[in-house]
Chains A and B, each alone.
Chain A
Amino acid sequence: MRGYRIEEHPILKFRRGRVVKFRFNGVEVEGYEGESVLASLYALGYRVFSYSKTGRPRGAFCMIGKCSSCLARVNGVPNTRICIEPVRDGLVVETQSGLPEIPSETHGDVSEEEIEADAVVVGSGPAGLQAALTLAGHGLKVVLVEEHFKLGGQLVKQTHRFFGDTAYYGGVRGFRIGELLAEKVRASSNIKVLTSTRVYGFFAEGYLGAATVTGEPRHYLIKSKYTIVATGASERLALFENNDLPGVMGAGGAQTLMNEYGIRPGDRAVVVGSGNVGLIVAYQLLQAGVDVKAILELRDEIGGWFVHAAKIRRHGVPIKTRRTLLRVEGHDRVEKAVSVAVDGGYNPIPGTEEAYDVDLVLLAVGLQPSYALLGQMGAVVKHVPELGGLVPVRTWSMETSIPGVYVAGDLSGVEEATAAFLEGELAARSILEKEGLADGGRAEVLHYLWNVYRMSPVLERARRGKLSVTLSEGEMEELRRGAG
């Protein structure tokens, strides 16, 4: 089973599980236990798993069960997101075309559970983990809900050492920070962890509703005095011809394939976007053995930090500024990508097309805060371009317009892991203060976040953005009266 599996990686060691056999469109294929169905198929070279209503091929895009690009039929059940469906012996997987019919039989009874806790933390990225650990460390009972099967959020996929302050895990590789914190969380008797479980909404009676996304169907109603929402951010899409062709993938999707499953997402790639995410993903592609032909950047400067750009430039990857992707070509997967130069108004300049012979196009064109849950709960949000889109208005304590509901991390405005740790801790310490469990740490965290960390000129935009949605307690009270 060589195919697209990474055999030699400079940072990661892939421990593959037992070999399992299953069927894909009638053909017997093999995968390894611990992989998703899509990952196993991708490793063998399959790229199309679904067809749209109009017959357009659909492939892997997000790899975390969010985009619905991979809906297939598994053991007769349609609309199964095979990117998060664990591979098992004897599965029957079939490509799905268009809209399916309701299956004649549904299996499994949904079990119900009601949980009470002092605090619920939604999302287990750096913000959620730090918040949960801080609360639990002071004796509060916490429920931590995460829709992925692993704790860690973005940290899980990052092979590089994180920047930042050594006091906040700077210098440690992302996935190690994730493992470290997840271990601490598991060791805490005050934290109940629900993985593969999505918080889908909030009820008038004061319950958060959550349900498993894979495995045994289970439904939870969770009641708590405090809620910290730390659902992070999701990737944006870019507009160009054929942007739905298999082989066009989100940066995060490619990271999941190569850094979690050890599967090369392609042989030759173009990356769209030169922010830190694009630069880092390009570097990780090189480590996975992918030939990166170019990074395209619409603006006339590189978006991310110089040191990240220099790392890939010295390995021969060009960063083409003032260029964007015009279209991709290919029958049922990407075979070619065509870029074009843009003028000062970002309009394509005819005659400047450049073609790349690639099978992978990675989109790294920005993140937007995942505000859906907070929005449903009724928190006041505001559009702030510097922060990536709609973000909740909050106090200096990270409390939203809903009393008792706090926010932290990329959801509060896209920034960095250090900021996410700090905001998670700040939210938790603000709750501890209300509960009379404070030990004075809150003021220090607040000071460090605003007067030290965010004073870096490279974070100026984010700082400005966050200032514009941070209110005093008095201003928040006024807003609440108005909004109520």
Chain B
Amino acid sequence: MSFRRTGVLSVEELARLGIIPPEERMKKKPVAMIECPEEVPCNICVSACPFNAIRKETLYSRPRLEENKCIGCGVCVVKCPGLAIFVVDLRGEDALLTLPYEMSPPPAKGDKCLLLDREGRVVGEGEVVKAWSYDSTWAVTVRVPRDMWLHVRAIKVVKNRA
């Protein structure tokens, strides 16, 4: 079933749309994944990226990432109004995933969190390793099991009740 019916991009669709970065690239540096598959009239990401790594031919064409220019800084993650951009870092043993977050409670380094996939299913537990915000949207970097980097797309922050 297509993402137009489900609201979920399947791994096959991600691959077909060229959203999954090449493996060699992933080993070098963190990199953005722009999960914005439709031709929407929006160009926020283009001017958001300080390294000019995102291109759009017209206001509405699909955004394209120039992977060699992207350093995985996460600025686009907090600025995209569609909350459609994620940054993956596969250099270490665990995967690090940076995702946008606009829910309560606010995240903080060290918080435990439930890891949710594109359908909101709990697929594991993770830990917040970094969190910063811009205009009330957080970029949260979470440690996720290595085989889950392509699946985790949201978190539920669990606060330790002291």
Nearest Cβ on chain B to A41's Cβ, whole angstroms: 25
Given contacts A306-B4, A311-B82, A458-B39, contact A166 B119 (CB under 8 A): no
Name the CB-closest residue of A to B116: A314
Partner of A316, one of B37, B41, B106, B116: B116
Partner of B104, one of A10, A165, A307, A452: A10
Number of interface residues of A (CB under 8 A): 44
Q: Is the CB of A315 within 8 A of B60?
A: no
8 A Cβ contacts from B71-102 to A: 79, 81-84, 102
Given contacts A306-B7, A307-B36, contact A316 B119 (CB under 8 A): yes
Q: Is the CB of A165 within 8 A of B41?
A: yes
Which A residues lie within 8 Å of B118 (CB)?
Answer: 310, 313-314
Q: Kindly state the separation between the CA atoms of A418 and B81 in the bound complex, as whole angstroms.
A: 14
B 121-141 binary contact with A (CB < 8 Å = 1; else 0): 100000000000001110000
Which B residues lie within 8 Å of A287 (CB)?
Answer: 102-104
Q: Is the CB of A314 within 8 A of B120?
A: yes
A 112-151 binary contact with B (CB < 8 Å = 1; else 0): 0000000000000000000000000000000000000000
Which A residues lie within 8 Å of B41 (CB)?
Answer: 163-165, 416, 418, 453, 456, 458-459
Q: Kindly state the separation between the CA atoms of A308 and B60 in the bound complex, as whole angstroms.
A: 16
Binds A, one of B21-29, B42-50, B142-150: B42-50
Q: Is A26 an interface residue (CB 8 A)?
A: no
Partner of B60, one of A8, A302, A313, A457: A457
Q: Kindly state the separation between the CA atoms of A323 and B7 in the bound complex, as whole angstroms.
A: 16
Q: Kindly state the separation between the CA atoms of A286 and B104 in the bound complex, as whole angstroms.
A: 9
Q: Is the CB of A289 within 8 A of B119?
A: no
Q: Kindly state the separation between the CA atoms of A455 and B61 in the bound complex, as whole angstroms.
A: 10
Partner of A307, one of B43, B84, B102, B106: B84
Q: Kindly state the separation between the CA atoms of A212 and B99 in the bound complex, as whole angstroms.
A: 47
Given contacts A10-B136, A287-B102, contact A160 B7 (CB under 8 A): no
Q: Kindly state the separation between the CA atoms of A416 and B60 in the bound complex, as whole angstroms.
A: 14
8 A Cβ contacts from A329-372 to B: none
Q: Is A267 an interface residue (CB 8 A)?
A: no
Name the CB-closest residue of B to A9: B104
B 49-65 binary contact with A (CB < 8 Å = 1; else 0): 00000000011100000
Number of interface residues of B (CB under 8 A): 43
Nearest Cβ on chain B to A177's Cβ, whole angstroms: 12
A 12-41 binary contact with B (CB < 8 Å = 1; else 0): 000000000000000000000000000000
Q: Is the CB of B116 within 8 A of A306?
A: no
Q: Is A241 an interface residue (CB 8 A)?
A: no
Which B residues lie within 8 Å of A173 (CB)?
Answer: 135-136
8 A Cβ contacts from A157-189 to B: 160-166, 170-171, 173
Q: Is B68 an interface residue (CB 8 A)?
A: no
Q: Kindly state the separation between the CA atoms of A111 and B106 in the bound complex, as whole angstroms.
A: 51
Q: Is A479 an interface residue (CB 8 A)?
A: no
Q: Kindly state the separation between the CA atoms of A475 and B153 in the bound complex, as whole angstroms.
A: 53
Q: Is the CB of A313 within 8 A of B103?
A: no
Which B residues lie within 8 Å of A315 (CB)?
Answer: 103, 116, 120, 154
Q: Is the CB of B102 within 8 A of A308?
A: no
Nearest Cβ on chain B to A11's Cβ, whole angstroms: 5
Q: Is the CB of B58 within 8 A of A452?
A: yes
Q: Is the CB of A313 within 8 A of B5?
A: no
Nearest Cβ on chain A to B67's Cβ, whole angstroms: 21
Q: Is the CB of B38 within 8 A of A306?
A: yes
Given contacts A171-B48, A314-B154, contact A305 B120 (CB under 8 A): no
Q: Is the CB of A171 within 8 A of B103?
A: no
Q: Is the CB of B58 within 8 A of A161?
A: no
Q: Is the CB of A302 within 8 A of B4?
A: yes
Q: Is A89 an interface residue (CB 8 A)?
A: no
Q: Is B160 an interface residue (CB 8 A)?
A: no
Q: Kindly state the separation between the CA atoms of A305 and B60 in the bound complex, as whole angstroms.
A: 13
Q: Is the CB of A170 within 8 A of B136?
A: no
Q: Is the CB of A170 within 8 A of B81?
A: yes
Q: Is the CB of B104 within 8 A of A300?
A: no
Q: Is the CB of A308 within 8 A of B82?
A: yes
Q: Is A70 an interface residue (CB 8 A)?
A: no
Given contacts A160-B81, A161-B81, A309-B7, contact A317 B104 (CB under 8 A): no
Partner of B82, one of A163, A301, A418: A163
Which B residues lie within 8 Å of A11 (CB)?
Answer: 102, 136
Nearest Cβ on chain A to B48's Cβ, whole angstroms: 7
Q: Kindly state the separation between the CA atoms of A173 and B106 in the bound complex, as whole angstroms.
A: 19
Q: Is A379 an interface residue (CB 8 A)?
A: no
Q: Is A312 an interface residue (CB 8 A)?
A: yes
Q: Kindly state the separation between the CA atoms of A317 and B118 in the bound complex, as whole angstroms.
A: 10
Q: Kindly state the separation between the CA atoms of A170 and B137 in the bound complex, as whole angstroms.
A: 16
Q: Is the CB of B5 within 8 A of A170?
A: no
Q: Is the CB of A456 within 8 A of B5?
A: no
Which B residues lie within 8 Å of A311 (CB)?
Answer: 82-83
Question: What are 8 A-B pairs with beta-carbon distances under 8 A?
Answer: A164-B42, A166-B47, A301-B4, A302-B6, A305-B82, A311-B83, A313-B6, A314-B119
Known contacts A307-B36, A418-B41, then 13 further A-B pairs from the complex at CB < 8 Å, ordered by chain A residue:
A10-B102, A161-B137, A164-B41, A170-B81, A301-B5, A302-B4, A307-B82, A308-B82, A310-B83, A311-B83, A319-B7, A321-B5, A459-B60
